[in-house]
Structure 1
């Protein structure tokens, strides 16, 4: 694979991102994207809503998103000039689709990053209860900006170690739960750890179908970022080999990191005893008699939030770079540093993330703000996933010869695209049923109205690319 370089670039030739991310980086970025902060933070609430059926909720969401990722993979590999899904949306669905997809994805990660910065400030209070909440928020953004400005490889290294911490924590939880089940551990409240805890108290669906459906509302946020591997396409060495590897391992990751973790929690702690506003991860380690559990898991969840914020800083800057190349964002965002990093986009995105510090300063009830922000984020991510699927349908219609020649065809093709689109519509209906998530749904159209006005009235310099 030819290395991109910025040195002595001929006049008029576009800057290019370097292919500096190795298979090791891509695999861990994909894992980090699949293990969202929502698993650590939201699993207590989802268990209380859905009971043991929450296991099926995570399996269904993961199953559907695997097909979205396969569609994205086939599209990216059908033309290696596609730097990310913003490029194939522009090429296959038109400039307006690319504009909406790129800016919405940028906004998704800014919103998610603000939520992560708020979370990081909260977790920091565990060790430093006396410092003002806004201070760690500013410190986190400053550290992420400075490290990401160095090299693309630095992002890969950061994400590698952030994801590794999450993996070790979840594996430790699964193994601890397994040991407690094997030894028939008895909790201080008299509960015995056993797999039968999953079905002996009201069955797998103790709250019926409505309880099962309620679990989808929060669980879907745990998967935001799963498409992150698609934004690394332009900076991945040997994408024909490394992208399929990363995407194909998603089902195994979901089984290990979601299903096994939830089974371990529910086998040790009966679902009725799971406290909605506490991390069941901490509770399980506390039951196991590990006094350092709270500090350890607090560190893990803090790094999980930092990992998500790091992903947001990376992906938003790459989206701004792609939008600027297409003339849909100010030209300054397509300028790369000497190390092939879109530094202007990085700085702008980090300034936007500082809104998290402002929210902390202005809003006393952070939980309400956090719920609102995460629901807006999940809804907008579903829009991006939908655009990936619509791009796939356009690709099959326009370039079926490329599909037939592909070595990485999406399983199920058009039928699974229809199934995924119906599934996203179903999630939106569920979000509209609850008061706290319905409020966020009302805010989403405002974003699209603003985007439409920007597309219609803000002068843009459209740049036509040869995608052939």
Structure 2
């Protein structure tokens, strides 16, 4: 497959509005909802879980509007990494780019393993590695063809998850109010919200601790910005996608959590592998476990698919800035950065291997970086937007000339940054996650130091800074 220099050829704008919308949904609706929701209810209680998701949803909205403004000012592939480089500084762009790339690469590696394990339910005699290898080939092929092929596949992956969540909300809502009978249990109505322990059985401490898990569940919504450089009519499709993504994700997550909390007692919720399966079993849905196993499998493949795309484009963007080897800027005739894709896949497989042979050393290091990568990226997005708007006004620009403007500036970006710092505070507060926080921060400091020793004050390539404000 032949390639051409990235500086001579650009990524193709072949994503439509529906692709952009489903890409963000696909990167967000995953195991954080299907598996971790039981933990959230068990720790925070029924009321606390809903509040945690509402607060995380607010933070997601703040991030999305900040990224929306930046993505229309600079609709380039790589998105906030390029924004951070221009509006904060190249050292910050370098650091957030590599942290975010590692974060997604580590996630992709773990998705391959988890997908292979899920296949054991139907094919118990087939080794996990065979299924993992099959999924590696599948997702690599989809990403190596064209952006449109990737986007179309992700559209259907995400669609399966969305349909599953909608059906769950409808069926669960009917069971809560007695329109469907429940096996061996009376109709719950709202008894779990008013029963033993009430709304906050573990106090607000439980809410604070679960906030970390809940915010991680929403991360992935920012990937629409990474795809801005490959989106048709970004000035029209990006604002539309922001509105659709934020409010529909909030509806899906909060409504699903309400149904789960109303049906499953908080004392039982944290003990189950997937509370979604439990609810389907309670209302007598046949083959509930197999249905959810399939849905969770598509969720894993969807996250892996999105992760390969996002991390490949981040590496491509850094290469164009001179922050990674120039070979990663080369595109195939179909407009795919193949070398960046190959290295990203190789790192994902290395992460997968380290989870098996060095789980207490190398993998815990990689996972720690991945755990804070998303929250760091969110804070950097708000910081870059704040700096851009200040520079824009100082240079005589008018807010009404922006194609999409963050409302209530500067409150929105400042509040976003403070909330991200608050999330880091929760990580330090919880002893089980404290080590991951310090490892992640240590890696970021190492990236800053490497940048200054490697590049110093060298002027990096600015050729991809496509700024459009009029």
TM-score, normalised with respect to structure 2: 0.91
Q: Structure 1's 386 and 360: CA in aligned 2 closer, same or farther, altered over 3 A? A: closer
Q: What is the 5 A alignment of 1:224-373?
A: 224-362=219-357
Q: Structure 1's 80 and 133: CA in aligned 2 closer, same or farther, altered over 3 A? A: closer
Measure, in 1, the Cα distance between the counterparts of 2:363 and 2:30: 15
1:193 partner SS? coil
Q: Structure 1's 136 and 446: CA in aligned 2 closer, same or farther, altered over 3 A? A: farther
Measure, in 2, the Cα distance between the counterparts of 1:285 and 1:373: 36
The farther-off stretch of 133-142 and 158-167 is 133-142
2:7–2:329 Cα contact (<8 Å) kept: no
Measure, in 2, the Cα distance between the counterparts of 1:86 and 1:177: 41
Deviations 1:26-85 (CA, angstroms, capped at 9, x unpaired): 111122233232111211111110011101101111111111110111111124457512
User: How far 1:361 sits from its partner (Å)?
Assistant: 3.5
Measure, in 2, the Cα distance between the counterparts of 1:249 and 1:12: 32
Measure, in 1, the Cα distance between the counterparts of 2:154 and 2:134: 18
Measure, in 2, the Cα distance between the counterparts of 1:177 and 1:373: 38
1:137–1:356 Cα contact (<8 Å) kept: no
1:67–1:411 Cα contact (<8 Å) kept: no
1:399 partner SS? helix
Q: Structure 1's 191 and 447: CA in aligned 2 closer, same or farther, altered over 3 A? A: farther
1:36–1:224 Cα contact (<8 Å) kept: no
> Is 1:179 matched up with 2:174?
yes
1:75 pairs with one of 45, 48, 70? 70
Q: Structure 1's 463 and 363: CA in aligned 2 closer, same or farther, altered over 3 A? A: closer
1:51–1:206 Cα contact (<8 Å) kept: yes
Q: What is the 5 A alignment of 1:110-189?
A: 110-183=105-178, 187-189=182-184
User: Which residue pairs with 1:3 in the alignment?
Assistant: none
1:29–1:160 Cα contact (<8 Å) kept: yes
User: How far 1:449 sits from its partner (Å)?
Assistant: 3.8
Q: Structure 1's 146 and 79: CA in aligned 2 closer, same or farther, altered over 3 A? A: closer
1:432 pairs with one of 412, 428, 431? 428
TM-score, normalised with respect to structure 1: 0.91
1:15 partner SS? coil
User: How far 1:399 sits from its partner (Å)?
Assistant: 0.4
Q: What is the 5 A alignment of 1:6-25?
A: 14-25=8-19
> Is 1:389 matched up with 2:382?
yes
Measure, in 2, the Cα distance between the counterparts of 1:374 and 1:193: 39
2:27 pairs with one of 16, 24, 33? 33
What is the root-mean-square deviation in Å for CA atoms of aligned residues? 2.6
Residues matched between the structures, number: 459
Measure, in 2, the Cα distance between the counterparts of 1:357 and 1:206: 38
User: Which residue pairs with 2:447 in the alignment?
Assistant: 451
1:78–1:402 Cα contact (<8 Å) kept: no
1:118–1:356 Cα contact (<8 Å) kept: no
Q: Structure 1's 230 and 283: CA in aligned 2 closer, same or farther, altered over 3 A? A: same
Q: Structure 1's 352 and 251: CA in aligned 2 closer, same or farther, altered over 3 A? A: same
User: Which residue pairs with 2:373 in the alignment?
Assistant: 380
Measure, in 1, the Cα distance between the counterparts of 2:211 and 2:415: 16
Q: Structure 1's 239 and 379: CA in aligned 2 closer, same or farther, altered over 3 A? A: same
1:348 partner SS? helix
User: How far 1:445 sits from its partner (Å)?
Assistant: 2.7
User: Which residue pairs with 1:200 in the alignment?
Assistant: 195
Measure, in 2, the Cα distance between the counterparts of 1:13 and 1:46: 47
Measure, in 2, the Cα distance between the counterparts of 1:390 and 1:413: 12
Deviations 1:247-290 (CA, angstroms, capped at 9, x unpaired): 11233213321011111112222222324341000000111112
2:112–2:132 Cα contact (<8 Å) kept: yes
Deviations 1:89-135 (CA, angstroms, capped at 9, x unpaired): 11111222221122122111112212322321321222222333333
Structure 1: unaligned runs, 5 residues or longer: 1-5
1:115–1:374 Cα contact (<8 Å) kept: no
User: How far 1:454 sits from its partner (Å)?
Assistant: 3.2
User: How far 1:291 sits from its partner (Å)?
Assistant: 3.1
1:69–1:227 Cα contact (<8 Å) kept: yes
